[in-house]
């Protein structure tokens, strides 16, 4: 009777792989039990790099543990080490291995786009992939900074921000023209040729030619004044003031830096903060702090550790973002030359990564480093307080351990119309806004205003999707605690859904407002237990109130956005055969959609481009039912 050989694991398994590996560049993945990806790495030579893990000489406990947990490996060969680096970055962001440095909260940045698909170009805010034809400018660090710049550009260049449908339906100038923020090309108050000149000025300003633009405007103002055209001179004066305000509002406007991103890293106590500043067109377009996830038990040499963190951060940061010509850093990242070569290959132009030693650039990096140090200090203080709060939540609700992920649900509607559900997420790092979700209520069997029915639909959709993702092995997150806005009725509805879906390992708690909706007198409902209250001045109560209020704010905001979209819809858009041209002709003829609704078939036929069948359809549409 033959004995079965135990499968190889850890260093022995890796040593066995080495015998079949090529001496070529590539990417390797180390996997643990159930196929969990532990680590993704790249190598100039897969054979030489992987054999180091098989030799068993590790300078950190982290790598020793990683090797010990390894149950299988996968390899991909590439043409060059640069290709391997780019593939490694992509796989790390996709797979999120537990032993890699991970960039968190990596959402796209807002930008400004001058959309040129229309004869009268539109100025607007944009976020995401560049699917719109036009000129893009950014990134801006926050929605606030891009909105502020948009307002300035509207004052200075009078470009339209309205949608094409609104533009096509205008018969007279809108309020933005009245407050001198739009030249009103929609109604012909400015020719398309002159409007195109404004667009070109705005583009030149955003590309850093602000002095040339302001000089031209100043010359035009002087010429208008000399010609006694004082009204024109006053308008030009206001535009110049708007442009000058950009320099006054931004805190740092470097004189020697046209385009660059500045990165500064500060690490302490096993945590790190990377502060990023964006400079475009010679202007500071804002900054943002990042807190990458750092595997515990890294090397003893802090400088090497920080260099690895900076390299991993830069690679993941620029995986889906435009790369400037110059990247300034507070410390040289590991394998700087390889990283710069990868950025050059990705962007199609030479990219430099430098650590400035003196002058204005050094001052900018030092300012960013100060911000990083202060931001990490605040984060560590908040994390300590947050940990205590979560321990208190676990004690209050009888949980086995502090919750890592809390999901809070609320509904919003007006008399059952435009009903939506909202889900917010919180945990040790505070509110996780990238995880928020909205649910448009779709059920046709739900009575308008039925809060129980709406909550059941939202929870059924959320946990049915969770079950599907887990079954397919997709990356997903299961909550430890679900908070519901409501009492025992809402709890019963939710537990019915949970039972149907076989979810029995998620704690559910209802939060009901106190008598007269007084804050501090909330009652808490747990299935199978009598309701209870917390001490009115308890920090845990204040924390739970914040969670409930944030869910309410998110649901209300989502509802208002949906209601606003419904209110701005033009009923003509729903009629087959009425495109932008015919819609504009109808609105010009009758003044508004309401005017069109009152028109007879004979009146509709008098409008250019409206045929008999179309007139019948329009007439019937407004009289259906």
CATH number of the domain to which 269 belongs:
3.30.420
Average pLDDT over residues 434-454: 77
Average pLDDT over residues 598-623: 87
Would the pLDDT of 3 be above 60? no
Summary mean pLDDT of the chain: 83
512-564 confidence digits (pLDDT tens): 876 555 566 788 999 888 888 888 778 899 899 889 889 888 888 877 776 66
Lowest mean pLDDT among 75-89, 247-261, 279-293, 312-326: 247-261
Non-local (6+) Cβ contacts of 606 within 8 A are 589
464 lies in the same domain as 560: yes
What are 127's two structure tokens?
């976020």
Strand order in the sheet with 37-43: 37-43, 26-31, 72-77
The confidence score (pLDDT) of residue 352 equals: 93
115 lies in the same domain as 150: yes
pLDDT: which is higher, 112 or 238: 112
The confidence score (pLDDT) of residue 4 equals: 56
Q: Give 434's DSSP letter.
A: G
152 lies in the same domain as 51: no
Average pLDDT over residues 255-275: 86
Q: Is residue 4 part of a domain?
A: no
- Whose structure tokens read 């995986």? 319
554 lies in the same domain as 584: no
416 lies in the same domain as 434: yes
Would the pLDDT of 181 be above 90? no
Average pLDDT over residues 493-515: 84
Would the pLDDT of 379 be above 90? no
Q: Is residue 552 part of a domain?
A: yes
Q: What is the domain-level CATH number for residue 494?
A: 3.30.420.340
The confidence score (pLDDT) of residue 301 equals: 56
pLDDT: which is higher, 257 or 54: 54
51-82 confidence digits (pLDDT tens): 888 886 666 778 888 888 999 999 999 999 99
SS3 assignment, position 241: helix
CA-nearest of 434, 435, 437 to 558 is 437
Q: Is residue 171 part of a domain?
A: yes
Non-local (6+) Cβ contacts of 622 within 8 A are 571, 596, 597
The confidence score (pLDDT) of residue 30 equals: 93
Q: Is residue 544 part of a domain?
A: yes
Q: Name the residue range of residue 49's domain.
A: 10-95
Q: Is the peptide bond before 215 cis (omega within 30 degrees of 0)?
A: no
22 lies in the same domain as 127: no
- Percentage above 70 pLDDT, the chain: 89
549 lies in the same domain as 440: yes
pLDDT: which is higher, 197 or 3: 197
Q: Is residue 397 part of a domain?
A: no
The confidence score (pLDDT) of residue 392 equals: 92
**pLDDT band with cut points at 50, 70 and 90 for residue 145:** confident
268 lies in the same domain as 135: no
Q: Are 160 and 123 in contact (CB under 8 A)?
A: yes
Q: Is residue 341 part of a domain?
A: yes
Lowest mean pLDDT among 82-91, 583-592, 604-613: 583-592
Q: Is residue 385 part of a domain?
A: no
Would the pLDDT of 202 be above 70? yes
The confidence score (pLDDT) of residue 490 equals: 86
Q: Is residue 212 part of a domain?
A: yes
In angstroms, the CA 80 to CA 117 distance is 40
Among 249, 270, 305, the domain-final residue is: 249
The confidence score (pLDDT) of residue 381 equals: 78
Based on the structure, what is the number of domains in the chain?
A: 5
The confidence score (pLDDT) of residue 302 equals: 67
208 lies in the same domain as 326: no
Q: Give 8's DSSP letter.
A: P
Would the pLDDT of 312 be above 80? yes
291 lies in the same domain as 310: yes
CA-nearest of 435, 433, 453 to 443 is 453
Would the pLDDT of 250 be above 50? no
Q: What is the DSSP pairing of strand 507-512 with strand 481-485? A: parallel
4-44 confidence digits (pLDDT tens): 566 788 888 888 888 888 999 999 999 998 888 999 999 99
Radius of gyration of the chain (CA): 30
Q: Are 415 and 449 in contact (CB under 8 A)?
A: yes
365-374 confidence digits (pLDDT tens): 999 999 999 8
117 lies in the same domain as 238: yes
521 lies in the same domain as 444: yes
Contacts 24+ apart (CB under 8 A), 150-154: 150/112, 150/123, 150/124, 150/125, 151/181, 152/242, 152/243, 152/245, 152/246, 152/249, 153/112, 153/123, 153/202, 153/205, 153/206, 154/123, 154/181, 154/182
């Amino acid at each position: 009777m033959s004995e079965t050989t135990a499968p190889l694991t850890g260093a022995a398994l890796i040593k066995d792989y080495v015998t079949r590996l090529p001496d070529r560049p590539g990417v390797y993945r180390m996997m643990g039990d159930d196929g969990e990806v532990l680590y993704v790495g790249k190598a100039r030579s897969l054979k030489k790099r992987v054999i180091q893990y098989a030799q068993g000489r590790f300078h950190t406990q982290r790598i020793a543990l990683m090797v010990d947990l390894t149950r299988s490996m996968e390899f991909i060969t590439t043409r060059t080490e640069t290709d391997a680096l780019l593939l490694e970055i992509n796989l790390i962001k996709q797979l999120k291995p537990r032993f890699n440095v991970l960039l968190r909260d990596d959402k796209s940045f807002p930008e400004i786009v001058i959309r040129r698909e229309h004869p009268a170009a539109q100025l607007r805010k944009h976020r995401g992939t560049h699917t719109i034809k036009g000129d893009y400018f950014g990134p801006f660090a926050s929605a606030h900074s891009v909105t502020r710049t948009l307002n300035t550009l509207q004052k200075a260049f009078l470009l339209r921000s309205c949608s094409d449908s609104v533009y096509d339906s205008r018969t007279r100038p809108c309020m933005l023209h009245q407050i001198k923020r739009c030249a009103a090309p929609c109604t012909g108050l400015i020719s398309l040729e002159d409007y195109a000149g404004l667009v070109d000025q705005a583009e030149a300003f955003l590309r850093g030619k602000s002095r040339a633009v302001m000089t031209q405007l100043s010359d035009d103002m002087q010429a208008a004044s000399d010609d006694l055209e004082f009204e024109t001179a006053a308008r030009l004066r206001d535009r110049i003031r708007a442009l000058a305000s950009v320099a006054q509002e931004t805190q740092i406007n470097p004189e020697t830096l046209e385009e660059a991103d500045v990165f500064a890293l500060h690490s302490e106590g096993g945590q790190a903060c990377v502060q990023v500043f964006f400079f475009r067109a010679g202007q500071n377009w804002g900054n943002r702090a990042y807190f990458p996830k750092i595997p515990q038990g890294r090397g003893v040499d802090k400088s090497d550790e920080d260099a690895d963190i900076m390299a991993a951060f830069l690679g993941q940061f620029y995986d889906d973002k435009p790369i400037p010509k110059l990247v300034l850093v507070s410390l040289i990242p590991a394998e700087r030359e390889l990283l710069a070569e990868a950025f050059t290959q990705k962007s199609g132009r030479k990219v430099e990564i430098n650590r400035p030693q003196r002058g204005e650039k050094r001052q900018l990096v030092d300012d960013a480093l100060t911000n990083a140090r202060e931001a990490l200090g605040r984060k560590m203080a908040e994390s300590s307080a947050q940990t205590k709060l979560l321990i208190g939540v676990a004690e209050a609700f009888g949980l086995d351990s502090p919750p890592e992920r809390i999901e809070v649900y609320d509904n919003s509607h007006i008399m059952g119309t435009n009903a939506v559900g909202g889900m917010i997420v919180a945990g040790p790092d505070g509110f996780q806004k990238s995880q928020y979700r909205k649910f448009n209520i779709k059920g046709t069997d739900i009575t308008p205003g039925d809060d129980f029915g709406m909550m059941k639909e939202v929870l059924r959709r959320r946990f049915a999707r969770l079950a599907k993702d887990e079954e397919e092995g997709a990356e997903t997150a299961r909550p430890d605690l679900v908070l519901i806005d409501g009492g025992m009725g809402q709890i019963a509805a939710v537990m019915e859904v949970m039972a149907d879906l076989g979810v029995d390992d998620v704690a559910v708690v209802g939060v009901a407002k106190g008598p007269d909706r007084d804050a501090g007198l909330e009652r808490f409902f747990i299935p199978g237990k009598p309701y209870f209250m917390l001490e009115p001045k308890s920090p845990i109560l204040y924390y739970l109130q914040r969670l409930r209020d944030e869910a309410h704010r998110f649901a209300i905001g989502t509802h208002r956005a949906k209601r606003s979209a419904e209110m701005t819809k033009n009923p003509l858009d729903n009629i087959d055969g009425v495109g932008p041209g015919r819609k504009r002709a109808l609105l010009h003829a009758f003044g508004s959609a309401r005017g069109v609704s009152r028109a007879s078939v004979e009146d509709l036929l008098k409008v250019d481009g409206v045929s008999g069948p179309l007139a019948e359809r329009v007439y019937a549409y407004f009289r259906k039912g």
